[in-house]
């Protein structure tokens, strides 16, 4: 069956395809039938609250753990480890040998992916210099700041020029400046044709970077598609401020509308903006301000994954 | 397979470099000095304490003439073995109240009196806290019998000295075998513990996930095992060289004076390294499997204790083979994979045939292969497991 799927994968230009992945840990089902299709050359976001099954899904995609059932194909190979030399992976929990020099740590990660140690060291020196860490090349990891160590590990992830980069919560623990640098690095790699999958519980990053997203909640994929498609599931939001508080215009306000800071907030009625505008004007609303906003990814996430999942994302402190 | 071996090489190279180039490795190399120093210090203290402690004596209440005969007889026995192993005696002239004297002597603390011998040679009687079948009583019987008999000159026994005899060689070789076994056991246990600690460090560093995503997890298992093996072989080479040099310097005649193992020194040392490798790979695999289950040092200590105790029992089992290398027990110990390297090393010291070693090494290699495979399999299943752990009775499905 996977052979048929793989043909379709190749035809569709997918870097990664997973079909009905399931992972059980004892009696607990961590991932429950996840299917994904990651287009080649895209930036693909895996969104979901902590414990949703993102890391387990990524680990299965990379061959770190085997699924209890289901199939996956990565860069055209059935066994992900066969494609390991073309994959770069930054795990959620960062790990480096504290006593290693920065350049050796990067070269070691390259060696794991088939790069010779000498070539790895040469590339490491170049990368470290490019990212402002040239002076730290021969300093031990334990002497680096947390942000620097994270950058070193990220450089180790791309040292072997992979075709697929998998980043598990890459922004966690980084300050705003380093988050910006990381976003730029991701964009640069994507421009070079590299497929990037990253998991995050910070919707803002996904909104800025991703072309495609999958929303995972409780071990299942609640949505898989483009960001535009996700947003398209919601109607635009109307924000209206009027001079009149009562009048015939009120009949144009749909049920479920709420008032926020003196403004009416409601979904744009199906008829579109013209009938709404006409009804407001004819009804004597006295429009002070009227804005029709495209819904954000967060709104789409709430609508797709549910309020509980959204609350969990928010509870992590970076919900927006 | 190439992917696995290449990954194992990358990991082994890093681990080996990290181990050998660390300051801790210098302490590792200096390790054998500490037990020798401690042994010397505590041995010296023990000897001083022993020499300064007054030995309990048997008070001989008799005439001077009787005591003279008894003392001469004791000396004849003491000439055949260390003096400290022969019952100590002290002379006391009889007092009018013999019962009171006996009571006073048994209460004496200088010297401490173990028993009182009264009645001289004619009617000897021993009173004190000794059983009639005690070694000291048996010696006293011999001494009294010898003292009563007419002293006869011992016959002439001309001696022609040879460098070795089967008896002395067997004894020396058994000692070599025992020492070899002991070194093998302690070194293996130490290194297995070290490799397990490294794994725990790696798990706590979280580097393990980076490795597992790049190479088969079996590579990590094999790479770590062989890196420590290589580091320890480097250590052994240093120790053997330093030891040989030291012996050459301090012992007249140098290495030539050491009792030769039955297979000869070169073969014995080579077999020692190979048996060490086998023993370490077998035990190290088990310890790494244990390490894969644990996530903290405390868990490791708890989990490794039964394995350590089991290994001590295996060592005891192997040690019995030294006394009788061709006995059934020795054969069973040689066949049992975990004791086989220990037993065979002792055998190399005692028996000159080499073919049993070829058979044993092949047998051990088969077990190393299976245990490595099993170890790697279990390691893969458990080392990166997150979430609730599977129940042990469901382990086969994990």
Q: What pLDDT was estimated at residue B324?
A: 78
Please, are residues A47 and A301 in contact by the beta-carbon 8 Å criterion?
A: yes
In chain B, what residues touch A26 (CB-CB under 8 Å)? 387-391, 394, 398
Percent pLDDT > 90 in chain B is 10
Q: In the predicted model, is pLDDT for residue A122 greater than 60?
A: yes
Q: What pLDDT was estimated at residue A9?
A: 44
Q: Which residue of B has its CA nearest to A96?
A: B207
In chain B, what residues touch A25 (CB-CB under 8 Å)? 385-390
Is the CB of A81 less than 8 angstroms away from the CB of B3? yes
Choice between B154 and A274, residue whose per-residue pLDDT is larger = A274
- What's the half-sphere exposure (Cβ side, CA atoms, 13 Å) at B299? 14
Contacts with A, B 212-271, CB within 8 Å = 212-217
Phi-psi label, residue B327: left if phi above 0, alpha if psi -120 to 50, beta otherwise: beta
Strand (E) positions, chain B? 57-61, 89-92, 113-118, 125-128
Is the CB of A95 less than 8 angstroms away from the CB of B206? yes
Is the CB of B384 less than 8 angstroms away from the CB of A65? yes
Nearest to B69 by CA among B153, B155, B144: B144
* Nearest Cβ partner for A84 among B206, B215, B398: B215
Q: What residues does B296 pair with on adjacent strands?
A: none
Is the CB of A97 less than 8 angstroms away from the CB of B207? yes
- In what helix (H) or strand (E) does residue A9 lie, and over which residues does it extend? helix A2-12
Once rounded to an integer, what is the mean pLDDT over residues B267-271? 88
Nearest to A18 by CA among A41, A4, A37: A37
Please, are residues B351 and B268 in contact by the beta-carbon 8 Å criterion?
A: no
Label residues A50-82 b or e (16+ Cβ within 10 Å = b): eebbbbbbbbbbbbbbebeebbbbbbeeeebbe
In chain B, what residues touch A153 (CB-CB under 8 Å)? 210
Q: In the predicted model, is pLDDT for residue B288 greater than 60?
A: yes
> Over the stretch B120-177, which tens digit does the pLDDT of each residue have?
888 899 988 877 667 888 888 988 988 888 667 777 777 776 665 656 667 777 788 8
Choice between A29 and A93, residue whose per-residue pLDDT is larger = A29
Euclidean distance between CA atoms A5 and A14, whole angstroms = 11
> Over the stretch A6-59, which tens digit does the pLDDT of each residue have?
444 444 589 999 999 999 887 888 898 899 999 999 999 998 888 888 889 999
Euclidean distance between CA atoms B358 and A187, whole angstroms = 61
Contacts with B, A 61-80, CB within 8 Å = 62-65
Strand (E) positions, chain A? 14-25, 28-39, 43-47, 69-74, 87-90, 164-168, 195-200, 212-217, 220-226, 237-242, 258-260, 263-267, 287-293
Q: In the predicted model, is pLDDT for residue A75 greater than 80?
A: yes
Which burial class, exposed, middle or buried, applies to B12 when counting CB atoms under 10 A from its CB (0-12, 13-18, 19+)? buried
Contacts with A, B 106-125, CB within 8 Å = none
- Please report the ipTM that was assigned to this predicted complex: 0.78
Is the CB of A28 less than 8 angstroms away from the CB of B205? no
Percent pLDDT > 70 in chain B is 85
DSSP 8-state assignment for residue A244: -
Is the previous residue joined to B111 through a cis bond, with omega within 30 degrees of 0?
yes
In chain A, what residues touch B201 (CB-CB under 8 Å)? none
* Nearest Cβ partner for B14 among A30, A62, A108: A108
Choice between B38 and B277, residue whose per-residue pLDDT is larger = B277
Nearest to A30 by CA among A3, A70, A1, A2: A70
Euclidean distance between CA atoms B295 and B164, whole angstroms = 56
Sheet arrangement for strand A287-293: A258-260, A263-267, A237-242, A287-293
Q: Going by C-beta distance under 8 Å and a sequence separation of 6 or more, which residues neighbour residue A8?
A: none
Is the CB of A62 less than 8 angstroms away from the CB of B18? no
Give me the count of residues in chain A. Answer: 320
| Alpha carbon separation from B322 to A87, B51, B265, B319 (Å, rounded) | 55, 33, 18, 6
Percent pLDDT > 90 in chain A is 44
Average pLDDT, chain A: 85
Euclidean distance between CA atoms B232 and B280, whole angstroms = 10
Euclidean distance between CA atoms B93 and A120, whole angstroms = 93
Q: What pLDDT was estimated at residue A320?
A: 34
- The two tokens of residue B15 are 């681990």
Q: What pLDDT was estimated at residue A6?
A: 44
Nearest to B188 by CA among B268, B277, B269: B277
Is the CB of B3 less than 8 angstroms away from the CB of A25? no
In chain B, what residues touch A108 (CB-CB under 8 Å)? 10, 14
Q: Which residue of B has its CA nearest to A29?
A: B387
Q: In the predicted model, is pLDDT for residue B291 greater than 80?
A: no
Q: In the predicted model, is pLDDT for residue A318 greater than 50?
A: no
Chosen for mutation from B9, B204, B207, B395 (greatest number of chain A CBs closer than 10 Å) is B207
Euclidean distance between CA atoms B233 and B88, whole angstroms = 51
Q: In the predicted model, is pLDDT for residue B381 greater than 80?
A: no
Cα B145 to the center of its chain, rounded Å: 41
Q: Taking the CB of residue B323, how many other CB atoms lie within 10 A of it?
A: 14
Q: In the predicted model, is pLDDT for residue B216 greater than 70?
A: yes
Is the CB of B389 less than 8 angstroms away from the CB of A96? no
Q: Taking the CB of residue B6, how many other CB atoms lie within 10 A of it?
A: 15
- The two tokens of residue B145 are 């019998």
Whether residue B211 lies within 8 A of chain A, CB to CB, comes out as yes
B109 three-class SS: strand
Chosen for mutation from A86, A107, A111 (greatest number of chain B CBs closer than 10 Å) is A111
> Over the stretch B356-370, which tens digit does the pLDDT of each residue have?
999 999 999 998 888
Once rounded to an integer, what is the mean pLDDT over residues B258-284? 85
Please, are residues B232 and B280 in contact by the beta-carbon 8 Å criterion?
A: yes
Average pLDDT, chain B: 80
Q: What pLDDT was estimated at residue B46?
A: 66
Choice between A287 and B245, residue whose per-residue pLDDT is larger = A287
Q: In the predicted model, is pLDDT for residue A166 greater than 90?
A: yes
Distance from A63 to chain B by nearest Cα, in Å?
Answer: 7
Q: Which residue of B has its CA nearest to A142?
A: B205
Whether residue B17 lies within 8 A of chain A, CB to CB, comes out as no
Q: Give the pLDDT band of residue B28 (cuts 50, 70, 90).
A: confident
Euclidean distance between CA atoms B246 and B356, whole angstroms = 32
In chain A, what residues touch B210 (CB-CB under 8 Å)? 89, 91, 95, 109, 112, 153, 156
Please, are residues B356 and B331 in contact by the beta-carbon 8 Å criterion?
A: no
Cα B64 to the center of its chain, rounded Å: 49
Q: Going by C-beta distance under 8 Å and a sequence separation of 6 or more, which residues neighbour residue B106?
A: B113, B115, B116, B127, B128
Once rounded to an integer, what is the mean pLDDT over residues A172-186? 85
Distance from A94 to chain B by nearest Cα, in Å?
Answer: 6
Q: What residues does A14 pair with on adjacent strands?
A: A39
Whether residue B383 lies within 8 A of chain A, CB to CB, comes out as no
Euclidean distance between CA atoms B187 and B35, whole angstroms = 13
Euclidean distance between CA atoms A183 and B243, whole angstroms = 60
Please, are residues A37 and A301 in contact by the beta-carbon 8 Å criterion?
A: no
Euclidean distance between CA atoms A249 and A284, whole angstroms = 6
* Lowest-pLDDT choice from A110-119, B339-348, B373-382: B373-382
Q: Give the pLDDT band of residue A264 (cuts 50, 70, 90).
A: very high
Q: What pLDDT was estimated at residue B261?
A: 83
Nearest to B342 by CA among B186, B113, B156: B186
Q: Taking the CB of residue A223, how many other CB atoms lie within 10 A of it?
A: 18
Q: In the predicted model, is pLDDT for residue A1 greater than 50?
A: no
Q: What pLDDT was estimated at residue A277?
A: 92
Q: Give the pLDDT band of residue B186 (cuts 50, 70, 90).
A: confident
Whether residue B3 lies within 8 A of chain A, CB to CB, comes out as yes
Nearest to B18 by CA among B195, B273, B186, B187: B195
pTM (2 d.p.): 0.71
Q: Which residue of B has its CA nearest to A154?
A: B210
In chain B, what residues touch A87 (CB-CB under 8 Å)? 213
Please, are residues A168 and A91 in contact by the beta-carbon 8 Å criterion?
A: yes
In chain A, what residues touch B394 (CB-CB under 8 Å)? 26
Q: In the predicted model, is pLDDT for residue B350 greater than 60?
A: yes
- The two tokens of residue B189 are 């246990």
Q: Which residue of A has its CA nearest to B391?
A: A26
* Nearest Cβ partner for B18 among A87, A99, A109: A99
Q: In the predicted model, is pLDDT for residue A315 greater than 60?
A: no
């Amino acid at each position: 069956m996977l052979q048929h799927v793989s043909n379709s994968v190749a035809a569709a230009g997918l870097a990664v395809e997973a079909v009905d992945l399931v992972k059980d840990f004892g009696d607990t089902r961590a991932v429950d039938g996840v299917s994904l299709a990651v287009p080649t050359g895209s930036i693909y976001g895996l969104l979901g609250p902590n414990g949703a099954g993102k890391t387990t899904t990524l680990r299965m995609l990379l061959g770190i753990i085997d699924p209890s059932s289901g199939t996956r194909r990565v860069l055209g190979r059935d066994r992900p480890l066969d494609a390991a030399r073309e994959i770069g992976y930054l795990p959620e929990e960062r790990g480096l040998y504290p006593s290693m020099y920065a350049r050796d740590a990067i070269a070691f990660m390259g060696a794991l992916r088939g790069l010779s140690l000498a070539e790895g060291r040469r590339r490491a020196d170049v990368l470290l210099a490019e990212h402002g860490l040239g002076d730290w090349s021969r300093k031990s990891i334990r002497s680096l700041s947390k942000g620097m160590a994270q950058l070193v590990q990220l450089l180790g992830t791309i040292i072997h020029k992979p075709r697929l980069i998998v980043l598990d919560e890459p922004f966690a623990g980084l300050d705003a400046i380093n988050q910006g640098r990381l976003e730029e690095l991701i964009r640069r790699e994507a421009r070079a044709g590299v497929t990037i999958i990253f998991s995050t519980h910070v919707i803002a990053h996904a909104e800025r970077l991703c072309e495609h997203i999958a929303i995972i909640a409780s071990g299942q994929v609640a949505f898989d598609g483009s960001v535009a498609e996700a947003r398209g599931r919601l109607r635009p939001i109307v924000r209206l401020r009027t001079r009149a508080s009562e009048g015939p215009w009120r009949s144009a306000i749909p049920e479920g509308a709420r008032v926020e800071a003196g403004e009416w907030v409601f979904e744009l009625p199906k008829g579109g903006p013209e009938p709404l505008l006409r009804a407001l004007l004819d009804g004597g609303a006295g429009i002070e301000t009227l804005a029709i906003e495209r819904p954000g990814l967060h709104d789409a996430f709430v609508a797709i994954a549910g309020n509980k999942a959204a609350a969990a994302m928010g509870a992590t402190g970076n919900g927006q | 397979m190439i992917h696995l071996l290449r990954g194992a090489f990358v990991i082994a190279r890093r681990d080996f470099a990290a181990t050998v180039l660390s300051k801790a490795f210098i302490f590792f190399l200096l390790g054998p000095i500490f037990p020798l120093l401690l042994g010397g210090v505590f041995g010296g203290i023990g000897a001083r304490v022993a020499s300064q402690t007054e030995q309990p004596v048997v008070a001989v209440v008799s005439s001077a003439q009787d005591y003279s005969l008894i003392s001469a007889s004791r000396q004849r026995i003491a000439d055949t073995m260390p003096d400290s192993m022969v019952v100590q005696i002290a002379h006391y002239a009889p007092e009018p109240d013999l019962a009171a004297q006996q009571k006073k002597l048994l209460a004496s603390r200088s010297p401490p009196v173990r028993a009182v011998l009264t009645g001289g040679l004619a009617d000897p009687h021993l009173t004190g806290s000794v059983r009639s079948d005690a070694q000291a009583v048996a010696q006293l019987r011999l001494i009294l019998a010898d003292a009563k008999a007419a002293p006869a000159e011992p016959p002439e026994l001309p001696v022609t000295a040879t460098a070795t005899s089967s008896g002395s060689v067997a004894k020396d070789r058994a000692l070599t075998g025992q020492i070899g076994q002991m070194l093998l056991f302690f070194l293996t246990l130490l290194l297995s513990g070290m490799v397990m600690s490294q794994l725990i460090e790696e798990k706590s560093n979280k580097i393990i996930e980076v490795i597992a995503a790049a190479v088969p997890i079996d590579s990590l298992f094999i790479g770590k095992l062989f890196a420590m093996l290589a580091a320890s072989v480097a250590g052994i080479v240093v120790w053997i060289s330093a030891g040989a040099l030291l012996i050459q310097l301090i012992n007249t005649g140098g290495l030539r004076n050491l009792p030769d193992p039955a297979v000869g020194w070169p073969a014995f040392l080579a077999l020692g390294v190979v048996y060490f490798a086998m023993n370490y790979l077998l035990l190290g695999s088990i310890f790494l499997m244990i390490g894969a289950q644990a996530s903290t040092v405390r868990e490791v200590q708890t989990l490794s204790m039964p394995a350590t105790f089991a290994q001590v029992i295996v060592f005891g089992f192997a040690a019995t083979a030294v006394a009788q290398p061709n006995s059934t027990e020795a054969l069973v110990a040689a066949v049992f994979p975990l004791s086989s390297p220990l037993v065979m090393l002792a055998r190399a010291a005692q028996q000159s045939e080499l073919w049993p070693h070829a058979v044993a090494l092949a047998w051990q290699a088969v077990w190393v292969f299976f245990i490595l495979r099993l170890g790697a399999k279990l390691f893969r299943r458990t080392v990166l497991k997150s979430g609730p752990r599977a129940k042990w009775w469901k382990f086969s499905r994990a």
